[in-house]
Structure 1
Amino acid sequence: MSEIQVPLAAPQAPAAGRPQLALLLAASCMPVLGATLLAPVLPQVKDAFTGTAGVEVLTPLMLSAPALLVGLTAPFAGFVADRVDRRRTLLIAMICYSVVGTAPLYLPSLPAIVASRVLLGLCEAAIMTSCTTMIGDYWSGPRRARYMGLQTLTTAIAATVFLGAGGALGGAGWRTPFWLYLAAALLAVPMARILWEPARSGPRSAKLVALPWRQLAAPCLVTLFGGILFYALIVELSFVLDDAGVGSTAAIGGISAAMSLATAIGAGLFGRLSGSTAARLVPIEFGCTAVGLGIVAATHAVPVIIAGAIVTGFGTGLMLPTLLVWAVNRLTFEQRGRGTGLWTGTLFLGQFASALVVAGLQAGTGGLATGIGALAAITVLVTVLLVPALRGASRPLHLTHD
């Protein structure tokens, strides 16, 4: 008698748990480290390179140049994630991040430092896109929406810590904070052991599944402006406080950390609101941010500036996970890397444009405070226009394609 051949069941992918989530959340903080750690020491950097041509432009570019590169290359990083390998892309980017992140410890000139920050942006694009994509791969449904909100919450808390650390370490010299970029290389070790490449639903195809461009267009366009709002005070608050007479880097770092803590609180609320819609949440978030920017612009009194920064941080903290989940939560596995990269790119292009927009408004209105006030007024106008434009975004955010 011939034996009956029983087909073997296909091996199931391991279930992701807290260790994987913790590592992806920690890695997601690396681009935030690049964006916030140096904010308290920007006035010191400016003073250290006073004789450098274009120092007024190059100094804020230390923060905004990585954002430009993320904006330009995150879609390509998403393509690599979909076509090749999410995990490998992430690990390589983490190692390179530490190498170029610590380069300003020994670079002698401001242009060379800005160049190293450009390279840092390439690494940040791959890190942020891969982490967000893998969160979407490992989990689905309301849990995915909650963890994407938790990603924003974690990065906001990290920003609070990094701003405080930047201010404290800046007391020992403006180069000292760059040592913290070594954290990425340390994280890469457990990531190589614990993370795995998510399983595909079928064999790798020679042709990628087309992106739903109409589905992505609205959230990405709104995110472009949202990036301008999110980054405005991250770059400018230290200069606003300096103009108001706050000369201590530790004090500037502490106040900036308070704003980031408010961002974390806003992001933490998203998990409870993910059953709502973008049409309802986005105008509220933009309106809250506009109020905060208006308060910052209204006075030179430091307590009032702090209050405005906290309101702004709360609005942007709730805004980011809303925009992220709205854009990518219903993408398939084969689309998720490119969709996440596109959203990340538009966010960081907005962040890069933020310093330029505020500088243009400052030049047009005659001062930094009035420039921020003009941005608040523009945000009010955009919010009014968004109310009818978002009527079609009526699907609860936590619903997924899976």
Structure 2
Amino acid sequence: MTNISPNFAPLTVQDATIIPVTNRPATSLQGILLLIGSCLPVLGAVLLAPILPTLSEVFAAEPGAEALVPLVLTIPALMIAIIAPFAGAIVDRLGRKRLLVGALIAYGILGTAPLYLNGLGAIVLSRVGVGITEAAIMTCCTTLLADYFVGNRRNRYFGLQTVVTSLAATAFFVIGGALGASGWRTPFWLYLASLVLVIPVAIFIWQPASTRAGVGKAKLPPIPWRGLTLPLVVTLFGGVMFYALIVELPYVLDGLGVKDVAIIGAATATASLATAIGAILFRWIARHGAARLLPLALGLAGAGLVVVWFAPSVPIAVIGAVITSFGNGILLPTLLTWAVSGLAFEQRGRGTGLWTGALFFGQFASPLLLLGIGALLGGLPAALGALGLASVALAAALAVALPRRAETVRYSATS
């Protein structure tokens, strides 16, 4: 059985050291295409946020509109959480490239469906389809990054994946607002981007293969649950942390008296920049391993939320948001590297799918969880503070548990 080490190194040399046969070395071109593909699920998550009030007005007469309109935005994330593990199994069984090309085409078709759909129920159904294709795209892109690159190059691209998706989220929010000003259907045209991307993907992305003879005909090796379970559980919490301020920061600022949309936008952009900086630094600090980086990232993210909780003014709240976002920028690539570092080639698609599902389920649950905690504790700032304290506590627990776990696993692997 392959075990996953908190120091990003597989502890056995049998399955985990299988190197994919790519026939040629991957270059920056392949990395850039996969990073662009990783932005498409972000497009689905934030592009439509500015038009939700308009959709509420347009479909006000339809039964259940109050519940269905928010689902237009959130249902893709839920579908990613549900479908990504199954997409990972397909990736391991049928191959990365075939699924990625098909998903990009389906994404463009389903994403633009609201341009001609008139019923709210039909639009929500099309968004379910978008979420399914996003699960396949995210799983394929992340798995291929792990296939094509190793060592410090892989760390660099995992960090860049968080950078570009964080910056893309900010850009898509602005673009969605600008396009939505000319009509609620206009932002859906942007989903055609996948049909443009599919052409260079079909030409320049290739399907890796294991060096193990006959692997495509043999039964796939089992998932190493012993090593993967803890990374998945922490990733679920990480998804809650990562999405908390993305959704709630505007409400925090509003509660502090900020009504100017430009100021709220600037604060959100500042936090996104801090996330990007944290992710960029991951390339140079990855050598310290999850045993050190996870407590650091979760501790910073939690401390920032506590600052937001007690912030008496807008500048202090923004400082807290920056601290949290910086910690989140380190957190995501650390979690991803921790999860995939001990997976064999034939396990990597399923492992990445499970990781993606855990992350997006955490993101989907984040606003609902904060809403429930806020109802119990008396408001959003207190809910964010409670989440921050939980993150600090988890950081302390991991600081103790991960080094001990590494020693236990290393002993069992050599005995």
Is the TM value for this pair above 0.5?
yes
Asked if the contact 1:167–1:251 (Cα under 8 Å) also holds between the matched residues in 2, the reply is no
Task: Report the secondary structure of 2:288's partner residue.
Answer: coil
Aligned partner (choices 341, 347, 352) of residue 364 of structure 2: 352
Instruction: Report the counterpart of residue 89 of structure 2 in structure 1.
Output: 79
Q: d(CA) in 2 for partners of 1:353 and 1:25? A: 25
* TM-score, length basis structure 1: 0.87
1:270 maps onto 2:282 in alignment? yes
Larger RCO, structure (CA 8 Å, separation 6 or more) = 2
Instruction: Report the counterpart of residue 190 of structure 1 in structure 2.
Output: 200
Task: Report the secondary structure of 1:15's partner residue.
Answer: coil
The RMSD of aligned alpha carbons is 2.6
Aligned partner (choices 136, 140, 145) of residue 126 of structure 1: 136
Residue by residue, what CA displacement relative to the aligned partner does 1:325-378 show, whole Å, maximum 9, x if unpaired?
000022111111111111111111111111221111122223223322222232
Deviation larger for 50-59 or 286-295: 50-59
Q: d(CA) in 2 for partners of 1:56 and 1:353? A: 19
Shift, 1:111, TM fit:
4.5
Asked if the contact 1:277–1:393 (Cα under 8 Å) also holds between the matched residues in 2, the reply is no
Shift, 1:181, TM fit:
1.7
Q: d(CA) in 2 for partners of 1:320 and 1:281? A: 11
- Point out where structure 1 has 5 or more consecutive residues left out of the alignment: 1-10, 396-402
Q: d(CA) in 2 for partners of 1:309 and 1:43? A: 26
Task: Report the secondary structure of 1:207's partner residue.
Answer: coil
Q: d(CA) in 1 for partners of 2:141 and 2:237? A: 23
Output the amino acid matched with 2:400.
P
Q: d(CA) in 2 for partners of 1:227 and 1:130? A: 19
Q: d(CA) in 1 for partners of 2:209 and 2:63? A: 52
Q: d(CA) in 1 for partners of 2:237 and 2:116? A: 36
* TM-score, length basis structure 2: 0.84
1:378 maps onto 2:386 in alignment? no
Change in 2 beyond 3 A, CA 1:169/1:27: same
Change in 2 beyond 3 A, CA 1:279/1:373: same
Output the amino acid matched with 1:389.
A
Instruction: Report the counterpart of residue 63 of structure 1 in structure 2.
Output: 73
Aligned partner (choices 127, 133, 153) of residue 117 of structure 1: 127
Change in 2 beyond 3 A, CA 1:205/1:255: same
Aligned partner (choices 21, 29, 32) of residue 39 of structure 2: 29
Output the amino acid matched with 2:397.
L
Asked if the contact 2:22–2:148 (Cα under 8 Å) also holds between the matched residues in 1, the reply is no
Deviation larger for 231-240 or 241-250: 241-250
How many residues are treated as equivalent by the alignment? 385
Asked if the contact 1:167–1:249 (Cα under 8 Å) also holds between the matched residues in 2, the reply is no
Residue by residue, what CA displacement relative to the aligned partner does 1:31-60 show, whole Å, maximum 9, x if unpaired?
111223234444554565566666665454
Shift, 1:145, TM fit:
2.2
Instruction: Report the counterpart of residue 89 of structure 1 in structure 2.
Output: 99
Task: Report the secondary structure of 2:223's partner residue.
Answer: coil
Instruction: Report the counterpart of residue 290 of structure 1 in structure 2.
Output: 302
Change in 2 beyond 3 A, CA 1:363/1:176: farther
Q: d(CA) in 1 for partners of 2:298 and 2:178? A: 32
Shift, 1:169, TM fit:
3.3
Shift, 1:245, TM fit:
4.9
Shift, 1:226, TM fit:
0.5
- Point out where structure 2 has 5 or more consecutive residues left out of the alignment: 1-20, 408-415
